Structure 1
Amino acid sequence: MTVKNYFPASEAETFDAGGGLTRKVGAYNDNMMCVEVHFETGTVAARHSHPHEQITYVISGKFEFTVGDKTYTVGAGDSLYKQSNIEHGATCLEAGTLLDMFTPHREDFV
């Protein structure tokens, strides 16, 4: 199997997830993936869970995240960890961009 090491942004497709949310998949392999996610102010990412572990790094903007039974207000430079199968969701308070990292990769995103 050939491993792909370079994922130019110019070749990444932007996926419109609806409701003011778009995403672009960056580098990934079977074990991990990074995804750039753009939110418009007021966009809500409904509470959900999945079997993947996830780290979210806030590049810009301001968000209210609920992870399990705790709610956090986060901004640029903050990060969150979400273990497998924990319910989580977010509301965008000020338009911004997140970098989500998943392990293993999200098959439903590619």
Structure 2
Amino acid sequence: MFVYNEDVKMEDLGAGVSRKVLAHSENVMAVEVHFETGAVGALHTHPHEQLTYVLSGAFEFTIGDVTQVVRAGDTMYKEPGIEHGCVCLEAGVLIDNFTPMRKDFV
């Protein structure tokens, strides 16, 4: 029911990206993703719906054929199967929410 950030292990994904898998069930998952300046979230697709909240920093995001710069406080929606990725312009943290949960993350 409660997940305390200090109790969750940070997973180093390499190339300036790391993440913490936070609270989740079979239906929904929250993930905290940390990026160093210049780090890349490679273009990819998955069958999950995804909402991303920019907690801090600045990112150039591509979702489908659209590329925009987003900053702290901005939110993005990614429908299932749409190609998306980002480049971190200023070190920051994203909060990703997936439905259903990403079984490949646990």
TM-score (norm 2): 0.98
Q: CA separation in 2, counterparts of 1:57 and 1:11?
A: 22
Verify: 1:97 aligned to 2:93, yes or no: yes
Q: How does 1:1-110 map to 2 (within 5 A)?
A: 5-110=1-106
CA distance in 1, matches of 2:104, 2:64: 23
From the CA coordinates, give the structure whose radius of gyration is larger: 1
2:104 aligned counterpart, secondary structure? helix
3-state DSSP of counterpart to 1:108: helix
Aligned structure 1 segments of 4 or more residues deviating by more than 3 angstroms:
none
2:6 partner SS: helix
Aligned residue for 1:10, secondary structure, equals helix
Deviations 1:61-85 (A, max 9, x none): 0000000000010000000000001
TM-score, length of structure 1 as denominator length: 0.94
SS of equivalent residue, structure 2 residue 68: strand
Name structure 1 gaps, 5 residues minimum. none
Identical amino acids, percent of aligned pairs:
58
> Residue type of the partner of 2:25?
N
Query: Unaligned regions of 5+ residues in structure 2, if any?
Result: none
